[in-house]
Amino acid sequence: MKNSKNYLLAKHFSHIYIEREIISHPITKIILDKFPNSVLVEIDNYKEVFSRPRQNYKLQEISKKLILAKKKGEFLYPGPPLCHDFGYNHFYYTSLILNCIFSCDYCFLKGMYSSANIVIFVNIEDYFEEIDSVLKRHPLYLSVSYDTDIMAFEKIVPFCTMFIEYATSRKDLTIEIRTKTANYEVLQSLKPPENVILAWTLSPQEIIEEFEHKTPSLSARLDAIKKAIENEWNVRLCFDPILFTNNWKEIYLKFINNVFEEIQPSKITDISVGVFRIPKDFLKRMKKVFKNEITLFPYEEENGVFTYPYELKKEMMDFFISNLSKFVPKSKFFVI
């Protein structure tokens, strides 16, 4: 699918489960107004639906249901070692939405949750309160799009806009919004704050078609990036994960050249690079549901993480970085 704009509202969310405690929350109303024909089901706790046993993940992916809930407990989590910290001492992530509208074969979410349904925690004000509390102790680098693609949901719930407006007045806060969406227009009316980074994950079109189901094309993502740069946003390019597949060298070489035919390297804030890697337990769960080129590869394990064998990983990284450095200085690279 080349354009996710209409897809988000058309195929999914025939049923919406709502915790009784947040039925009257303003964000709940914003969301429900987008789905006047959905069947509404009141529940006591989102885990009744999201965490129940013996769910059919593949069937749920065809028609995802929406669950509206109140987040309780922790609001911020330390950034995992498998992710780039971009040189920040205090790297955290937060999850306002669980699961993603897209369906990438390599996504760790497929092994993290037993459900393909979407959970939205509507109480964003509690997240802001917790962030303010942390900022009193130290600066914070915060990924707000770790367990989902928050920008892809912006037409359903305006969390992206709300986080950007919130960050504008918090000088010790830096937020990253990572996305594969092409729907830049949801942000184009906003003034770009210096402490907000829009981070696009980019892959070759061949990889998108084979493994990144329901995501926008490479050309659509590049068009969105060009618009963001023109409007003076900080833009990060994420070449992560790099995947091993047939003819990978030819595919990725053409891809790198294609990207920088469209994007002026000097306008990019920085770049992240990494090959596919995933916690052992997540891959084990994915294999039970999905039998494909990603899950069946003979990875090597190190400290509970599966990734490509050392020599292959080194060859892939050396090849990619060597060709990437023809366009962008290595001082802008973050490699994992």
Would you state the pLDDT for residue 7? 45
Q: What string of H, E and C letters represents the secondary structure of 44-104?
A: CCCHHHHCCCCCCHHHHHHCCCEEEECCCCCCCEECCCCCCCCCCCCEEECCCEECCCCEE
Comparing CA positions, the residue from 192, 179, 193 lying closest to residue 236 is: 179
User: Residue 8 — very low, low, confident or very high, per pLDDT cuts 50/70/90?
Assistant: very low
232 Ramachandran zone, left/alpha/beta (phi>0; psi -120 to 50): left
pLDDT(4) > 50: no
pLDDT (tens digit per residue) in 112-148: 999 999 999 999 999 999 999 999 999 999 999 988 9
Helical ranges in 113-216 per DSSP H: 124-135, 159-167, 205-211
**Is 120 in contact with 97 (CB distance < 8 Å)?**
yes
Burial class (CB in 10 A: 0-12, 13-18, 19+), 138: exposed
pLDDT (tens digit per residue) in 254-305: 999 999 999 999 999 999 999 999 999 999 999 999 999 999 999 999 899 9
Cβ-count burial 119-133 (b if 16+ within 10 Å, e if not): bbbbbbeebeeebee
Would you state the pLDDT for residue 58? 87
H/E stretch holding 225 reads: helix 218-230
Q: What share of the chain is helix, strand, coil (3-state, %, to 5)?
A: 35, 20, 40
Residues 6+ apart with CB under 8 A from 37: none
Comparing CA positions, the residue from 207, 210, 145, 211 lying closest to residue 181 is: 145
Would you state the pLDDT for residue 81? 84
Q: What is the C-alpha to C-alpha distance for residues 336 and 334, in angstroms, rounded to an integer?
A: 7
304 Ramachandran zone, left/alpha/beta (phi>0; psi -120 to 50): left
Instruction: Over range 20-33, report the average pLDDT.
Output: 98
Instruction: Over range 26-42, report the average pLDDT.
Output: 97
Q: What is the DSSP string of 119-147?
A: EEE--HHHHHHHHHHHHTTS-EEEES-SS
Residues 6+ apart with CB under 8 A from 27: 120, 122, 123, 124, 157
pLDDT (tens digit per residue) in 42-86: 999 999 999 998 889 988 988 899 999 999 999 999 998 888 889
| DSSP annotation of 193 | P
Comparing CA positions, the residue from 253, 268, 262 lying closest to residue 323 is: 253
Q: What is the C-alpha to C-alpha distance for residues 235 and 228, in angstroms, rounded to an integer?
A: 7
Instruction: Over range 81-92, report the average pLDDT.
Output: 89
Would you state the pLDDT for residue 5? 45
Instruction: Over range 194-215, report the average pLDDT.
Output: 97
Q: What is the C-alpha to C-alpha distance for residues 19 and 37, in angstroms, rounded to an integer?
A: 19
Cis preceding linkage at 26, omega within 30: no
Question: What's the angle, vertex CA 300, arms to CA 299 and CA 303, rounded to 5?
Answer: 130
